[in-house]
Amino acid sequence: MGIFKRFSDILKANINDLISKAENPEKMLNQIMIEMNEQLIESKKSVASAIADEKRLERQMKDQLAQAQDWEKKAMLAVRAGKDDLAKEALLRKQEYAGLATQYKEQWESQHAAVEKLKSSLRQLQGKIEEAGRKKNLLIARAKRAEAQRQIQKTMGNLSDTGAFEVFDRMAAKVDKIEAEADAMAEIEDFTADGDLEKQFKALEAGDTSTDAMLAELKAKMQIEDKTGKSET
């Protein structure tokens, strides 16, 4: 069971170090999951080694039992042959292997119980790591939302501090002024154009009147001259 204590100690040390240095929650959580899975792999290797020891003890126990049974058969064979001394020697050998088998059985049973506990702990550990993975995804999503909200608040604060929105108001006032000036210029041009046109018509009217007078004067002169010429004739 010491492997899981080591796992916990190593993991706590790594997590505390990561948290103290954490700036990016997503990066930190991903790194923690990497650490946890690496330690899980090491724990699986330790459990696998314990299982291998259990199987080795089981094989040794069965081998000693087989040897004991074999010497018992030899003792029975010696008895049938009327060789009791040889049968006794075979029984002593059987007793020796049976004793070893008993010792291996005790070790195997103890190892088997320990392995079963290790397997149960390993399953619990793997379940906790899988749960941690699910929590990691939720925490990352929450962290992203919080960061987005923080950026929005920061941006709004910067805009408020620098008076960025006031710039738009000032630009709008400036555009209004430019538009008003353009309208004024257009109105002046229209007024000037109307005045010139009016002057042109007045000049034309004045010119027409002078011409009529000159024409009437010419006709009067011609009539006088015609009368004068007739009288002389």
Question: What mean pLDDT do residues 149-171 have?
Answer: 71
Please compute Rg for the chain using Cα positions: 59
Q: What is the pLDDT of residues 100-117, one digit of tens each?
A: 999 999 999 999 999 999
Q: Report how far residue 77's alpha carbon sits from residue 57's, in angstroms, rounded to the nearest whole number.
A: 30
Q: Which of 2-6, 131-135, 158-162, 211-215 has the lowest mean pLDDT?
A: 2-6
A 10 A CB-CB count for 218 gives: 10
Question: Residue 53: CB partners within 8 Å, gap ≥ 6?
Answer: 111
User: What band does 196 get if pLDDT is binned at 50, 70 and 90?
Assistant: low
Q: Residue 215 pLDDT > 90, yes or no?
A: no
**Contact between residue 75 and residue 91 where contact means Cβ atoms under 8 Å apart:** yes
Q: Report how far residue 94's alpha carbon sits from residue 88's, in angstroms, rounded to the nearest whole number.
A: 10
**Residues, the chain:** 233
Residue range 2-162, CATH number: 1.10.287
Closest to 140 measured CA to CA, from 23, 17, 12, 30: 30
**Contact between residue 108 and residue 61 where contact means Cβ atoms under 8 Å apart:** yes
Question: Residue 132: CB partners within 8 Å, gap ≥ 6?
Answer: 32, 33, 36
Whole-number percent of the chain with pLDDT over 90: 35
**SS3 state at 61:** helix
Q: What is the pLDDT of residues 45-82, one digit of tens each?
A: 999 999 999 999 999 999 999 999 999 999 999 999 99
Q: Residue 209 pLDDT > 60, yes or no?
A: no
In sequence order, what DSSP letters do the residues of 59-119 get, joined into one string? HHHHHHHHHHHHHHHHHHHHHHTT-HHHHHHHHHHHHHHHHHHHHHHHHHHHHHHHHHHHH
Question: pLDDT: is 23 or 131 the higher one?
Answer: 131
Q: Report how far residue 1's alpha carbon sits from residue 17's, in angstroms, rounded to the nearest whole number.
A: 25
Q: Report how far residue 140's alpha carbon sits from residue 117's, in angstroms, rounded to the nearest whole number.
A: 34
Helix 2-21 vs helix 84-162: crossing angle, to nearest 10: 10
User: What band does 189 get if pLDDT is binned at 50, 70 and 90?
Assistant: low
